[in-house]
Amino acid sequence: MTSQTAWPTGVIARYLTKAAEITGDHEATVDVRQNRDYGHSYDCRGCGGGSTSGDIRAIYAGAQEHAETCRAIPRPTPPAGSTR
């Protein structure tokens, strides 16, 4: 990877998914966040899966495990002005 983009606000850890490894699309990530009201969570930007827990170790382990197997790619953003 030659360039990096800023992580979204609130993301404290990020894992590349299997899809990112296969395609080189580094937008296919599993993002870990600290939640205001309850512990931590992870969300997959490929398949949309995720989990929430009060145990940060469980979230890190779950996020990494999910990233190692997820082959879903993020849904493309339609071009500006597109009606689809």
Q: What is the pLDDT of residues 24-51, one digit of tens each?
A: 988 899 999 999 877 999 999 999 999 9
The pTM of the full predicted model, rounded to 2 decimals, is 0.81
- CA 41, 68, 17, 64 torsion-angle sign: positive
**What distance in Å separates the CA atoms of residue 60 and residue 68, rounded to the nearest whole number?**
12
Q: In Å, how far are 3, 71, 75 from 55, measured between CA atoms?
A: 33, 26, 30
Q: In Å, how far are 24, 34, 46, 62, 82 from 9, measured between CA atoms?
A: 23, 11, 18, 21, 27
pLDDT for position 1: 46
As a whole number of Å, the CA-based R_g of the chain is 14
Better-predicted residue by pLDDT, 73 or 40: 40
